[in-house]
């Protein structure tokens, strides 16, 4: 199975800050990585797929990069509605696996 390791597990940041979350795969997954945002009590929401493609309707302050085993999600200027948990997911092969999540909290 492909293990996905996310870091940090939590980050405290202020509105306007740039935030970067890293996801590492235990083996190469090409560009088959997705990022999701989840707010408390809500379903996950797809932000980025294929490592760097922004899902329709997602603000351009979100961006993704990487390939192979190392990937990043960047929020260029944190907005109040961005305080949430973020998960990476490898979409390369079964079993599909998620990272442990990163909680973005208000500083």
Partner 1 sequence: EVQLLESGGGLVQPGESLTLSCAASGFTLRNFAMSWVRQAPGKGLEWVSFIYGNSLATSYADSVKGRFTISRDNSKNTLSLQMNSLRAEDTAIYYCAKKHTNAYYSFDYWGQGTLVTVSS
Residues in contact with partner 1 by CB under 8 A are 1, 32, 34, 36, 38, 42-46, 49-50, 53, 55, 87, 89, 91-92, 94-101
| Rounded least distance, CB 1 to partner 1, Å | 8
Cβ nearer to partner 1, comparing 14 with 60: 60
Cβ nearer to partner 1, comparing 19 with 99: 99
CB-CB contact of 6 with 23 (8 Å): yes
Could you tell me the CA-to-CA distances from 25 to 30, 42, 64, 72, 96 in Å, in that order? 10, 26, 15, 11, 12
| Rounded least distance, CB 90 to partner 1, Å | 8
Residues 6+ apart with CB under 8 A from 10: 102, 103, 104, 105
| Rounded least distance, CB 36 to partner 1, Å | 8
């Amino acid at each position: 199975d492909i293990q996905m390791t996310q870091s940090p597990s939590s980050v405290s940041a202020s509105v306007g800050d740039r935030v970067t979350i890293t996801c590492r795969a235990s083996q190469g997954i090409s560009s088959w990585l997705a990022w999701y945002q989840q707010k408390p009590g809500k379903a996950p929401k797809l932000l980025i797929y294929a490592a760097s493609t922004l899902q329709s309707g997602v603000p351009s302050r979100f961006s993704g990069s990487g390939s192979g085993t190392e990937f990043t999600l960047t929020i260029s200027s944190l907005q109040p509605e961005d305080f949430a948990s973020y998960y990476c997911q490898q979409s390369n092969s079964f079993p599909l696996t998620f990272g442990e999540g990163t909680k973005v909290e208000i500083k």
